[in-house]
């Protein structure tokens, strides 16, 4: 094969990955559509990965996206501009101390935020007054303890456990998905409903194998390898075997399972 | 409250549990409907718990249900008679050595059978010739490694691990659900498709809390307690804490997750 073929092949792969990203997007976001004119607060927008999806799905809502990090906000603004999205306003702010009038928003949206907070329940409580009566909150989180796979591997499980432990040391909780119901209900919201969104990947779904098992989940675990080894959580050899075993699940006879959780509640 | 009230309350509870059993039945079985006159083999019918559901969902199919245990077959027959079901024939037979002509069946159905076999792949291979060309196979299995919960508990996880280890000692595999795709595809079936069926239980679903978390899953784990303790897998104290922690997940702020897998393939 010539370099040109390889390049063409790579382009097709890029398209597949993009398709795959859209599949996950659909799984997590497709049922969140806010009406025209509604005031939406995205609390903890980070670099805007979810902001873009949120804004596209609710093009006539007025979205306010806040984050505590000015650096992240800068990237988020750039991303939204590139996409030509115009219904988002960015503001710097601490999720525990936002300076909006009570009832300023019809809807609040958080995605992959609570997992990084030491006091997720308090964040939910602090946000509640910002909602109008009858307004909704939507929370999406993963749960790394929901990952299991074939072939099973104690080393791979231990490697994932290191990521969970490291996130816990930083005050977060990588197992928070399963807790969304008690967290949201416990923060005083009513009509709380949680729906799990399972990603099931087997050899019949090569795009998911590549886009989720390899490039999303395993790459994420792989990223904390030096931290885990340097802290003595696992030997380098065991760590590498764990990562190899995770990649092994992306062979044609492998299987990988992971579950996200989506909660909605009402003030 | 008088004894009569209590009795009435108990009756309502019994109704709820029955409703709940129907919910799980729906989750696992509702999309399996065989046409009138089709010849269906249920391989490994046990005491007929699934036979009754299968026969009700396909009332005009001709179902042959086989099991190696005459005792189980006797119970299955009784159960089917009580339900007034008339489209099932029971026959004793070894799933690895069934004496039917090649192509005798349009459909084969197995539920909670492969998990008990040391050679599940060989069972699937041995069954394949019994299907006509184009006939289908349907396989349903659980996966105890798919169980996770809130509050999390190492003792509870270890108790479930004992059940997995005990089943493995008996030649079975309590983690087989995740393997269905490679198993069925590897046995030569085509168009193999696996769909996970997740049971998500939180405080908003009290019937599932009782019917699944308490009376189905935790009761099942609890049942192997003496075996696990007598073999020194866990101390009595740790075991009891594990079981208590499993019951703890059925409190209003608890959450329990479990996933079944359903595979279909074609000859």
Buried b (16+ CB within 10 A) or exposed e, A12-48: eeeeeeeebbeebbeebbeebebeeebbbbbbbbbbb
- What 3-state class would DSSP assign to B224? coil
Q: Is any Cβ of chain B less than 8 angstroms from the Cβ of A194? A: yes
The whole model's pTM is what?
0.92
From A253's Cα to the closest Cα of chain B, the distance in A is 5
Asked whether A109 and A43 are in contact (CB, 8 A), the reply is yes
Distance spanning both ends of chain A, measured CA to CA:
60
Give me the interface pTM, i.e. the ipTM: 0.90
Q: Is A164 left (phi over 0), alpha (psi -120 to 50) or beta?
A: alpha
- What 3-state class would DSSP assign to B202? coil
| Contact yes or no for B202 and A181 at CB 8 A | yes
Q: What pLDDT, on the 0 to 100 scale, is given for residue A4?
A: 45
**Strand pairing report for B39-43 and B62-67:** parallel
Q: What pLDDT, on the 0 to 100 scale, is given for residue B24?
A: 83
**Strand pairing report for A39-43 and A62-67:** parallel
Q: What pLDDT, on the 0 to 100 scale, is given for residue B263?
A: 98
What residue of B is the nearest CA neighbor of A190? B204
Asked whether B137 and B107 are in contact (CB, 8 A), the reply is yes
Other Cβ atoms within 10 Å of A85 Cβ, number: 17
Chain A partners of B150 at a C-beta cutoff of 8 Å? 178-179, 182
- Domain spanning A11-266: CATH 3.90.79.10: no
Torsion of CA A96, A100, A101, A106, to 10 degrees: -90
A112 DSSP assignment: S
Sign of the Cα torsion B96, B100, B106, B109 reads negative
**Strand pairing report for A62-67 and A131-141:** unpaired
Q: Is any Cβ of chain A less than 8 angstroms from the Cβ of B145? A: yes
| Contact yes or no for B182 and A150 at CB 8 A | yes
Average pLDDT of chain B to the nearest whole number: 92
Q: Is any Cβ of chain A less than 8 angstroms from the Cβ of B164? A: no
Q: How far apart are CA A236 and CA A241, in angstroms?
A: 9
Q: Which of B143, B192, B259 sits opposite A204 (nearest CB)?
A: B192
Phi, psi of A38 (to 5 degrees): -75, 145
Q: What pLDDT, on the 0 to 100 scale, is given for residue A18?
A: 55
- What 3-state class would DSSP assign to B265? strand
Collect the ranges in chain A with pLDDT lower than 50.
1-9, 16
Long-range contacts of A18-22 (CB under 8 A, 24+ apart): A19/A207, A19/A211, A20/A207, A20/A208, A20/A210, A20/A211, A20/A212, A21/A211
Q: What pLDDT, on the 0 to 100 scale, is given for residue B207?
A: 87
Q: How far apart are CA A137 and CA B225, in angstroms?
A: 43
> How does pLDDT run across B161-202, given as a tens digit for each residue?
999 999 999 999 999 999 999 999 999 999 999 999 999 999
Mutate to test the interface with B, among A193, A198, A209 (most CBs of B within 10 A): A198
Q: What is the mean pLDDT of each run of 10 residues along chain B (267 residues)?
A: 40 53 82 97 94 96 96 93 96 96 98 95 98 98 98 97 95 97 98 97 92 90 93 97 98 97 98
Tokens of B191: 């168009």
What residue of A is the nearest CA neighbor of B254? A182
Q: What pLDDT, on the 0 to 100 scale, is given for residue B19?
A: 52
| Contact yes or no for B186 and A253 at CB 8 A | yes
Domain map of chain B by residue range?
11-266
Q: Which alpha helices (H) appear in A49-92, and where do they start and end?
A: 49-57, 70-82
């Amino acid at each position: 094969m010539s370099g040109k073929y390889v390049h063409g092949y790579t382009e097709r792969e890029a398209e597949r990955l993009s398709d795959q990203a859209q599949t996950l997007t659909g799984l997590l976001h497709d049922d969140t559509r806010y009406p025209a004119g509604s005031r939406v607060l995205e609390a903890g927008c980070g670099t805007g990965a979810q902001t873009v999806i949120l804004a596209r799905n609710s093009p006539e809502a007025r979205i306010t996206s806040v984050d505590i990090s000015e650096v992240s906000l800068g990237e988020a603004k750039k991303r939204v501009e590139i996409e030509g999205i115009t219904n988002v306003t960015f503001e710097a702010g601490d999720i525990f101390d936002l300076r909006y009038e009570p009832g300023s928003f019809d809807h609040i949206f958080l995605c992959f935020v609570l997992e990084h907070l030491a006091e997720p329940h308090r964040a939910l409580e602090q946000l509640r007054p910002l909602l109008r009566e009858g307004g909704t909150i939507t929370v999406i989180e993963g749960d790394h303890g929901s990952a299991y796979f074939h072939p099973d591997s104690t080393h791979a499980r231990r490697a994932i456990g290191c990521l969970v432990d490291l996130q816990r040391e930083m005050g977060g909780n990588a197992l928070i998905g399963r807790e969304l119901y008690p967290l949201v209900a416990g923060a005083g919201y009513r009509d709380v409903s949680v729906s799990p969104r399972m990603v099931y990947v087997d050899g019949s779904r090569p795009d998911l194998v590549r886009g989720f098992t390899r490039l999303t989940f395993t790459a994420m675990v792989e990223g904390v390898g030096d931290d885990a080894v340097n802290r003595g959580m696992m030997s380098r050899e065991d760590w590498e075997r764990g990562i190899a075993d995770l990649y092994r699940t992306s062979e044609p006879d492998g299987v990988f399972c992971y579950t996200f959780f989506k909660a909605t509640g009402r003030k």
